[in-house]
Structure 1
């Protein structure tokens, strides 16, 4: 499912026009992004939680040359599914 599919599904489920549903979906995604940028966790009960995860610097190997390279530390986003989502996916 892509964002356009999600917008269409939200529009159908809520009887909103697609342009309004697109604004709603975009606003939700923007707020999740902003909260994560502020290092706040986002918990949607029953669905799951989004959190920042730190990755330490490490040594890797270039697949092209086989040369050893330094991979810098970075921050990524982690998602932990909630019980209701796990149950829905697992049948």
Structure 2
């Protein structure tokens, strides 16, 4: 499912226009991204938790040249499914 299909599902399920559904989805994504940017965790009970994890700097190998390269430390977004979502997926 892509973003357009998700907007259509939201519109049908919540009886909203597609434009209103798009605004709601965009606002939700923006709010989650903003919280993660600040380093906060976003917990949606029953659905899951969005968080930020720090990956340390490490050494890698360029597969084309076999030369060693340094990979910088970075932050990555993580998602852990909640119990209810996991239950639905495993049915």
**TM-score normalised to structure 2 length:** 0.98
What does residue 44 of structure 2 align with?
44
Query: How much has 1:15 moved relative to structure 2?
Result: 1.1
CA–CA distance in structure 2, aligned partners of residues 15 and 47 of structure 1: 22
TM-aligned CA deviation for residue 14 of structure 1? 1.0
**2: distance between equivalents of 1:46 and 1:15?**
23
Count of aligned residue pairs for this structure pair: 91
The reply to whether residue 59 of structure 1 matches residue 64 of structure 2 is no
* Other-structure match for 1:90: 90
How large is the RMSD of aligned CA atoms in angstroms? 0.5
CA distance in 2, matches of 1:79, 1:59: 26
Structure 1: state its 5+ residue gaps. Answer: none
Shift of 1:29: 0.3
Q: Distance in 2 between matches of 1:62 and 1:90?
A: 38
The superposition leaves residues 16-48 of structure 1 with CA deviations (integer Å, 9 ceiling, x where unpaired) of 110110000000000000000010000000000
TM-score (norm 1): 0.98
Unaligned runs of 5+ in 2: none
